C-alpha cells in the first residue's frame, strides 16, 4: 500500500503559510485532472518549480502549509507534478485531511524542516515516519498520525473506507 | 466541568451525552454543500465509493457560484456535470443561475442552516454559518462525498478559544474590522484546528450581517469553526426564514476554554490587512499613502445588505476616482432586488460602479475583475495571498465596505470620515 514505502527525492524548501492559492491558483480550478493541475503547481510562489521538479521530489515548508481554500486540487496538483510527499512544520486543517484523502503522504516535523535546504537528497520511511537528510546525515522522527487518520490509512483511504461502510450497511 | 456550545452541538450530532476536546467522533450532518469548483471532484469520489444515492436529497445543496455564469467551456462543463447530478439525485437545493447567489450569503438567506445544525461544505468559508449558533466547517471534496454517501462525517472535537469584545464601536467600524483586528492579534494559524467563540457586549450589539462577516473569516486564523450564541438578533433574523424547529445550545459558565482573549475595542479604527496575509493588519490611519487601481465590494464576507448600505451611504452623490475601477458584487439576487427597490443601485451606478452578478469570481481571481501585474486593489473579500485576485505581482488590501467605498472615491486608501 502507498503509505508503506520508502521514498527518495530532492527537497524543495519553502517558508511559512504556503497557501492553496499559490499551490494551485484558482484560475486553473476548472480542471480537476492531476496532470493538468500539476503543470501549474506552485507557479505563483516559484515559477520554475513545475518545469524543474522531478518525480519523487519532496516539498519541505514551515508552519501552516496548505492554508486557505478547501480545494482538493492542491494535493492533487502536488501529486500530479510528481511530488512524493510534503514535509512541514505544521499543516492547515483542511489541507491535512485532503492530503490523506487523496493519498498524498504528509509528515509533520519542524526539526527536519530546520535541517533541510533546497536540493538536499532525502529518504523518507513512511511506515516508521522517519526523514533522513542524506546531506547532513541526520535522521528525524515525524509526529505520528492521530487515530482518526490511521483508521483511514489502514482502510486504504477514505474512498475505500466509505465503500466498506456502504457494503456493510446493505447486507 | 461544563461544555462549550461547539462541544454541545457536536455531542448532539454524535448521539452522545458529552464530548471532550481531542476526542474523535462520527457526527450526523444536517447539510452538505458544494460549488462548481468542488462538486465535480466530490461527484467523482461519490461514484468511486460505490454510492448510488445521496443520504437525503433535502440535505444536500449545490451552488454554481465560483465560475458561474460560466467563464469558459471548462467551467460550463463543470456546471453541467453538477446540474446532471442534481437532477439524477433529486437534489432539492440546487440553485440555477438566476436563483443562485454566493453560497455563504444565499444558504442562510434561504433558511437552509438553523441554530444547532451541523453543516459541512466543500468550501473553506462554510464556517460562515457559525454566526447562527450552528457548527459549520469547510472540508475537501472527498470528505464531502462521504457526507453525501453516509450522512455523517468524522471530526476531532476542537479546543475552543473564546474572544470577548468589550467597549463601544466607533462610527464606520464593523464586523470586518473586529475580525481583521483579531486575526492581526493571533495570526493566520492562531486558531489552527480550534473553535473560535465570539462573545461580549460588542458582539451582542452586532447585526447578523456583521456576525456572518466575522464567522466567515475564522478560517483565516486557521480555525475549524467560528461560532456565536443565539440571541434575539438571531431569532428575529430567522423569522420568515426558518421553516423547521431548531435547537439553541449555549456554553456552560464552567466550560473549558484553551484561552480567553479580551479586547477593548472602543478605540478601534477601521482595519486594513496589507499584502500578503490576512494577519498583516494595521489601522487605516497607519497605512500611509497607498494609491489603488481597483476597489471590490462584495463576496461571502461582505456582500450582504448591510455592507451594500454602508457602501451606498458613502458613494451616493459622489464619483468614483477616475483612476479606479469600482466593482460591486452583491451576494444574492434578493440583495440585488432590494438594492434596486431602495434606489441604491442607481446611486452606485451613477457614482461609477459596475454591478456584478452574485459570483465568487473576482475574489479568487477567477473571472471578472482580475488584476494585472503591478495593480493594486482594496477589497472587502477575505484573502490577500500572492496572486489571489490575479497576477502574482498584483496586491490586495483587505478592508470593510466603509474603507473600500472611501478608497474608491479618493483613489487611495482612506478613512471613511474623509469623504462621509
C-beta atoms surrounding B15 within 10 Å: 10
**What is the least distance, in Å, from the CA of B49 to any CA of chain A?**
5
pTM: 0.97
Q: How many CB pairs under 8 A join A and B?
A: 140
pLDDT at B109 over 70: yes
Looking at residue B226, its pLDDT comes to: 98
Within an 8 Å CB–CB cutoff, is residue B80 touching chain A?
no
Give the angle subtended at the CA of B63 by the CAs of A33 and B145, to the nearest 5°: 55
| pLDDT over 60 (residue A115) | yes
Distances (CA, A) of A31 to A52, B70, B144, B178: 22, 14, 19, 36
C-alpha cell at A126: 513512511
> Would you call A32 and B40 a contact, using CB atoms and an 8 Å cutoff?
yes
In the predicted structure, residue B358 carries a pLDDT above the cut 50: yes
Q: What is the pLDDT of residues B305-347, one digit of tens each?
A: 999 999 999 999 999 999 999 999 999 999 999 999 999 999 9
Nearest CA-CA distance, residue B321 and chain A, Å: 29
| Closest CB from B150, B156, B224 relative to A162 | B150
Q: Which single residue is written with the C-alpha cell 464567522?
A: B215
B406-409's contacts with Cβ under 8 Å and 24+ in sequence apart are B406/B314, B407/B292, B407/B295, B407/B324, B407/B378, B408/B295, B408/B297, B408/B315, B408/B320, B408/B321, B408/B324, B408/B326, B408/B351, B408/B353, B408/B378, B409/B314, B409/B315, B409/B318, B409/B319, B409/B320, B409/B321
Determine the pLDDT at residue A99: 96
- What is residue A171's predicted lDDT score, i.e. its pLDDT? 58
Compute the distance between CA of residue A15 and CA of residue A70 in angstroms, rounded to an integer. Answer: 20
Report residue B420's pLDDT band, with 50, 70 and 90 as the boundaries: confident
Instruction: List CB contacts (< 8 A) between A92 and chain B.
Output: 189, 192, 222
pLDDT in tens, A11-65: 999 999 999 999 999 999 999 999 999 999 999 999 999 999 999 999 999 999 9
Specify the pLDDT at position B186. 98
Task: Report whether the peptide linkage leading into residue B276 is cis, meaning its omega lies within 30 degrees of zero.
Answer: yes
Q: Which residue has the cell 426558518?
A: B242
Q: Residue B54 pLDDT > 90, yes or no?
A: yes
- Reduce the DSSP state of residue B117 to 3 states and report it: coil
What stretches of A14-167 adopt beta strand conformation (E)? 58-61, 85-88, 106-108, 121-125, 130-133, 138-141
- Which residues, 6 or more positions from A127, have their beta carbon under 8 angstroms from its beta carbon? A3, A4, A5
Tens digit of each residue's pLDDT (9 = 90 or more) over B219-250: 999 999 999 999 999 999 999 999 999 999 99
pLDDT at B351 over 90: yes
Q: Is the pLDDT of residue A6 over 50?
A: yes
Q: Is B250 exposed, middle or buried (0-12, 13-18, 19+ CB in 10 A)?
A: middle
Interface predicted TM-score of the whole assembly (ipTM), two decimals: 0.95
Dihedral angle computed from the Cα positions of residues B210, B213, B218 and B219, in that order, rounded to the nearest 10 degrees: 170
Above pLDDT 70, what percent of chain B?
A: 100
Give me the pLDDT at residue A132, please: 98
Q: Is the pLDDT of residue A2 over 50?
A: no
Is B415 in the A-facing interface, judged by CB distances under 8 Å?
no
The 10s digit of each residue's pLDDT in A61-94 is 999 999 999 999 999 999 999 999 999 999 999 9
Distance CA A30, CA B66 (A): 10
Q: What is the CB-side half-sphere exposure of residue B67 using CA atoms within 13 A?
A: 24
Let me know: does B229 contact B133? Beta carbons within 8 Å.
Answer: yes
Q: How confident is the model over B87-93, as a mean pLDDT?
A: 98
Residue B274's region, left for phi above 0, alpha for psi from -120 to 50, else beta, is beta
The pLDDT mean for chain B works out to 98
For residue A157, the model assigns a pLDDT of 86
Length of chain B: 420
CB contact under 8 A, B366 and A27: yes
Residue A147 has pLDDT above 90, yes or no: no
Chain mean position to CA B241 = 19
Measure Cα distances from B331 to A49, A68, B65, B113, B212 in Å. Answer: 37, 21, 10, 17, 12
Left (φ > 0), alpha (ψ -120 to 50) or beta: where does A19 sit?
beta
Angle at Cα A132 formed by Cα A131 and Cα A134, nearest 5°? 150
**Angstrom distances, CA of residue A59 to CA of A2, A87, A139:** 18, 6, 17
Residue B161 pairs in a beta bridge with B196, B259
Nearest to B140 among A94, A147, A162 (CB): A94
The C-alpha cell at A142 is: 515525524
> Where does the pLDDT of residue A1 fall: very low under 50, low under 70, confident under 90, or very high at 90 and above?
very low
Amino acid at each position: 500500500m502507498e503509505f508503506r514505502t520508502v521514498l527518495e527525492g530532492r527537497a524543495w524548501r519553502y517558508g511559512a503559510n504556503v497557501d492553496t492559492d499559490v499551490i494551485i491558483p484558482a484560475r486553473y480550478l476548472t480542471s480537476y485532472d492531476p496532470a493538468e493541475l500539476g503543470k501549474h503547481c506552485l507557479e505563483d510562489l516559484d515559477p520554475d518549480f513545475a518545469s524543474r521538479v522531478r518525480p519523487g521530489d519532496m516539498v519541505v515548508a514551515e508552519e501552516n502549509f496548505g492554508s486557505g481554500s478547501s480545494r482538493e486540487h492542491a494535493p492533487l496538483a502536488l501529486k500530479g507534478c510528481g511530488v512524493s510527499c510534503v514535509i512541514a512544520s505544521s499543516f492547515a486543517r483542511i489541507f491535512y485531511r485532503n492530503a490523506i484523502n487523496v493519498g498524498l503522504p504528509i509528515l509533520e516535523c519542524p526539526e527536519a524542516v530546520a535541517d533541510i535546504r533546497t536540493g538536499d537528497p532525502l529518504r523518507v520511511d513512511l511506515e516508521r515516519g522517519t526523514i533522513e537528510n542524506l546531506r547532513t546525515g541526520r535522521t528525524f522522527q515525524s509526529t505520528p498520525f492521530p487515530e482518526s487518520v490511521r483508521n483511514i490509512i489502514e482502510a486504504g483511504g477514505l474512498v475505500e473506507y466509505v465503500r466498506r461502510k456502504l457494503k456493510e450497511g446493505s447486507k | 466541568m461544563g461544555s462549550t456550545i461547539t462541544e454541545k452541538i457536536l455531542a448532539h450530532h454524535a448521539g452522545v451525552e458529552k464530548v471532550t476536546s481531542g476526542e474523535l467522533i462520527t457526527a450526523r450532518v444536517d447539510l452538505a454543500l458544494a460549488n462548481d469548483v468542488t462538486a465535480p471532484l466530490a461527484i467523482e469520489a461519490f461514484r468511486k465509493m460505490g454510492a448510488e444515492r445521496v443520504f437525503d436529497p433535502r440535505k444536500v445543496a449545490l451552488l454554481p457560484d465560483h465560475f458561474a455564469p460560466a467563464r469558459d467551456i471548462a467551467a460550463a462543463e463543470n456546471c453541467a456535470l453538477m446540474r446532471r447530478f442534481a437532477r439524477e439525485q433529486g437534489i432539492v437545493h440546487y440553485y440555477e443561475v438566476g436563483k443562485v447567489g454566493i453560497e455563504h450569503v444565499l444558504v442562510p438567506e434561504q433558511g437552509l442552516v438553523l441554530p444547532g445544525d451541523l453543516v459541512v461544505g466543500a468550501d473553506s468559508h462554510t464556517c460562515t454559518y457559525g454566526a447562527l449558533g450552528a457548527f459549520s466547517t469547510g472540508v475537501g471534496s472527498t470528505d464531502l462525498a462521504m457526507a453525501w454517501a453516509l450522512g455523517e462525517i468524522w471530526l476531532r472535537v476542537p479546543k475552543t478559544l473564546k474572544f470577548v469584545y468589550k467597549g463601544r464601536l466607533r462610527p464606520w467600524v464593523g464586523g470586518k474590522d473586529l475580525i481583521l483586528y483579531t486575526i492581526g492579534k493571533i495570526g493566520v494559524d492562531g486558531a489552527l484546528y480550534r473553535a473560535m467563540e465570539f462573545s461580549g457586549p460588542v458582539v451582542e450589539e452586532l447585526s447578523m450581517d456583521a456576525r456572518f462577516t466575522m464567522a466567515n473569516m475564522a478560517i483565516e486564523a486557521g480555525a475549524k469553526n467560528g461560532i456565536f450564541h443565539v440571541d434575539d438578533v438571531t431569532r428575529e433574523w430567522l423569522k420568515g426564514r426558518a421553516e423547521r424547529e431548531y435547537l439553541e445550545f449555549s456554553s456552560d459558565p464552567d466550560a473549558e476554554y484553551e484561552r480567553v482573549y479580551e479586547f477593548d475595542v472602543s478605540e478601534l479604527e477601521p482595519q486594513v490587512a496589507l499584502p500578503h496575509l490576512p494577519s498583516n493588519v494595521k489601522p487605516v490611519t497607519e497605512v500611509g499613502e497607498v494609491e489603488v487601481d481597483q476597489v471590490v465590494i462584495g463576496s461571502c464576507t461582505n456582500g450582504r445588505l448591510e455592507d451594500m448600505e454602508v457602501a451606498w451611504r458613502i458613494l451616493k452623490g459622489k464619483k468614483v476616482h477616475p483612476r479606479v475601477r469600482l466593482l460591486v458584487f452583491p451576494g444574492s439576487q434578493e440583495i440585488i432586488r432590494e438594492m434596486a427597490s431602495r434606489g441604491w443601485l442607481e446611486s452606485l451606478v451613477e457614482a461609477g460602479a459596475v454591478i456584478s452578478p452574485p459570483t465568487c469570481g473576482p475574489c479568487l481571481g477567477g473571472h471578472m475583475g482580475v488584476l494585472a501585474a503591478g495593480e493594486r486593489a482594496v477589497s472587502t473579500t477575505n484573502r490577500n495571498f500572492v496572486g489571489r485576485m490575479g497576477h502574482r505581482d498584483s496586491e490586495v488590501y483587505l478592508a470593510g465596505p466603509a474603507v473600500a467605498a472611501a478608497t474608491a472615491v479618493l483613489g487611495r486608501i482612506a478613512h471613511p470620515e474623509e469623504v462621509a
